[in-house]
Amino acid sequence: MNNKLLLQFTVVALIAGLIGGGISGKLQNYNSNNGSSNTQIVQERHYVEESDSISAIEKVAPSVLSIVATKDLQVLQDPFQFFGPFGMMAPQQGQQDQQNQKNQPTTQRKQVSGGTGFVVSADGLSVTNKHVVADAAADYTAVSSDGTKYDVEVISRDPVNDLALVQLHVKSQDETTDTSSDNSTNSNKKTDAPKNFGAKPEKLPFVELADASKLKVGQKVFAIGNARGEYENSVTGGIISAIGREIDAGDARGGFHETLTGLIQTDAAINFGNSGGPLINLDGEVIGVNTAVDSGATSVGFAIPANQVIPAVESVKKFGKIVRPFLGVQHIILNKQKAKELKLDGIEYGALITGDRSKKDFGVIAGGPADKAGLKLDDIILEVDGAKITEDNTLQSVVQKHVPNDTLTLKVQRNGSQFDVKVTLDERKE
């Protein structure tokens, strides 16, 4: 009996073991297959992301330009002379004229700066930063991704932003200008004569400017440019770190300074020479123009949103220059905290006209549209055409959507009272 019972238990145990082993094997097989499936999904996702990135870069890269500035710079003569065994060597016959010639001031054609730009129309109209083409005494050459060189005509420098529109021109066959040349020339050479530009190019690849108002923090972006003025079409990647930034930007020499607002902040590396290059999204659309970097930080770069570029391009096509509207007030944008600090009770938004009475700075440009409309220091512009002025909808951004001679209705608060006033915009001068 006991043996029979033991045999039954053994059989049951054996069957249970077989069943359990089968189940375990299936679970292991399932887990193995499931893990393989997850790995495959991740790999496929990475492949798609990389493919999108490569496609976006390949779409834009042919339209990116390296812009080089060249200039005639005076060459300093060496004041030291070689000595022979018996003192200073006397000039030999025929060398005196050479010495006299050497004493004449000479210049050398030198590359003085490098930047980036990109083509926005098939005939070579292109965008760059204003500070890239700021030197009116320099000549500019653009080099495309395939190595083709073009003469650059500066069409218009933006009076309110670090933007410039330039026109590419085909170089003539007999033109021998070398952007890196250091050949000496006589200082009497006339350098301020108007340049005779060649024909406009045809059928150039050009970029698509996107709507930057829909950007999100964390969105993947790429910067393309002439890094350090020598590594053309360098690509760096990152994300949008923030939007709507305001900075005071200037060059290292102190010759250029500008307050820039509404900027895109990115951690994509923006190096010296990247200025004027495109910041693009995964669809291969330009969402901004790379313009500045925080030199005291790591991976903190800034780009002008495409929404500020589009009106400049349209303006040049329509008027032949960048035309910007002008209201004529100095102001700060208020929020609840800032209004509280300034003891502005009941105010949570608006643009406060600011100045310094001790310096007779009353915040309103004399003779400008705001002055003609009767606006004063400490007035708060609450709305423009019914839209509230906030950190996300600044006074500058609202005004820049208009053109000179447009009439706007402003809701203004003064000494606790509110009233409406109409103002007609002027044209902003550089």
Q: Distance between CA 39 and CA 45 in Å, rounded? A: 10
Q: Do residues 21 and 29 make contact, with C-beta atoms less than 8 angstroms apart?
A: no
The first and second tokens of residue 428, run together, are: 């902003």
Span 320-341, average pLDDT: 92
Domain 212-319 indexed as CATH 3.30.420.40: no
Task: Look up the CATH superfamily of 325-427.
Answer: PDZ domain (2.30.42.10)
In this prediction, residue 168 carries a pLDDT of 97
The first and second tokens of residue 198, run together, are: 């060649």
Residue (of 52, 97, 116, 58) closest to 272 by Cα position = 116
**89: which DSSP letter?**
P
Strands (E), 254-300: 257-266, 278-280, 286-293
347-385 pLDDT, tens digit per residue, is 999 999 998 877 777 889 999 999 999 999 999 999 999
pLDDT at 322 over 60: yes
Span 405-417, average pLDDT: 95
In this prediction, residue 75 carries a pLDDT of 63
397: pLDDT confidence band, cut at 50, 70 and 90?
confident
Residue (of 172, 129, 133) closest to 150 by Cα position = 172
Q: Do residues 54 and 60 make contact, with C-beta atoms less than 8 angstroms apart?
A: no
Annotated catalytic sites, by residue?
131, 162, 275
Q: Distance between CA 22 and CA 24 in Å, rounded? A: 5
| Domains in the chain: boundaries | 2-61, 212-319, 325-427
Largest CA distance in the chain: 136
Task: Please count the other Cβ atoms lying within 10 Å of the Cβ belonging to residue 101.
Answer: 10
Alpha helix (H) residue ranges in 131-222 = none
47: pLDDT confidence band, cut at 50, 70 and 90?
low
Mean pLDDT of the chain, nearest integer: 80
49-106 pLDDT, tens digit per residue, is 688 899 999 999 999 999 999 887 766 555 544 443 444 444 555 555 565 555 566 7
pLDDT at 125 over 80: yes
